[in-house]
Structure 1
């Protein structure tokens, strides 16, 4: 199994989670602006349970949502990673790329930088045939990151997320895809500017 314990970029470290990450992660998940495109914010118990599940998935699959650390400062800023969706849809089973960053980390290009590194691992180490990404339709900032990393909107694949209540404005989701044969050419062609980093697409 490829070693996924630590991945690096020019400015970031993608690593396994530490107990010290839990408090800032809970604060991130309780921030209404970060969670704008989710049905609700999370309390500390739900946030900690998600970290526990992430670590279990790393042990089971060899990949997951890496904790993001700014290399120059050691500051935890959120996560970026690969995940197997837990619901049935026309495009599952599959592997999703997702991210969620704290507000002070927005606007620095961190989401795209970390996501490109995760895609490199997905296609070059795990040899996945495809990676998808999805988010609520109103989340335009996350969709902009998907395009920046070279993903393509599959308009015919858009769907209603089964974990969001019927009639909720965040239930309609957009689907983006990237095949292994499109990497890394698609990412190279993608726009390099980040703009405002998104609240995130990770559920």
Structure 2
């Protein structure tokens, strides 16, 4: 598993010493405000194990993001297979989660651009999706800056959340390889 590098960032494989910073990020109410709940240490470690297994199974996944000038996990950005059944699955999604102390500095955009490049060039994906709750405007703005288009017909009720849950409704964004290539010619 190789690293991805950008001007300011390194996207790299996971290490055991990433788990405490990942757990702290997943326990931060500000970071997790658009998720059903903050994660316990055990839940966070279990998520990290699933991410690492996804890399082993598929050759791609959620990378650890660190600043080149100051190593240490500041978040995760990467690709993964959508893990639930929906009208748009099977599919690969791009996702990101950065510690709140690193928001509004362009890191998510910079890392996501590198991940999309990998997905469309090295992995040969035809399409990459992203989704979030309607209230998560910053994430939707990032999707749009990446060239993703809102698929209003594809908006959905997340099957892992109970009917009536405030976060059940999700908006769906899509980016095709053709559209990505046109924007990067």
Say yes or no: TM over 0.5: yes
Runs of 4+ in 1 over 2 A off after TM superposition: 184-188
Contact 1:14 1:69 in 2 (8 A): yes
Check if 1:120 corresponds to 2:117.
yes
Alignment of 1:179-194 (within 5 A): 179-186=176-183
Instruction: Return the match for 1:64 from 37, 61, 65.
Output: 61
- RMSD, aligned α-carbons: 1.1
Distance in 2 (alpha carbons) for counterparts of 1:126 and 1:74 = 27
Contact 2:151 2:173 in 1 (8 A): yes
Q: CA deviation at 1:137?
A: 1.3
Check if 1:132 corresponds to 2:133.
no
Which residue of 2 is the match for residue 91 of structure 1? Answer: 88
Contact 1:116 1:187 in 2 (8 A): no
- With normalisation by structure 2, the TM-score equals 0.97
Deviations 1:44-99 (A, max 9, x none): 00100111111111111000000001001113101000010111111100000000
Check if 1:25 corresponds to 2:25.
no
Deviations 1:90-135 (A, max 9, x none): 1100000000000111010001110010000000000101000000
The unaligned stretches of length 5 or more in structure 2 are: none
Contact 2:18 2:72 in 1 (8 A): no
In structure 2, the residue corresponding to 1:183 is in which secondary structure? helix
Which residue of 1 is the match for residue 140 of structure 2? Answer: 143
Contact 2:155 2:171 in 1 (8 A): yes
The unaligned stretches of length 5 or more in structure 1 are: 189-203
Higher relative CO (Cα under 8 Å, sequence separation at least 6) belongs to 1
Distance in 1 (alpha carbons) for counterparts of 2:152 and 2:11 = 31
Contact 1:148 1:187 in 2 (8 A): no
Q: CA deviation at 1:187?
A: 6.4
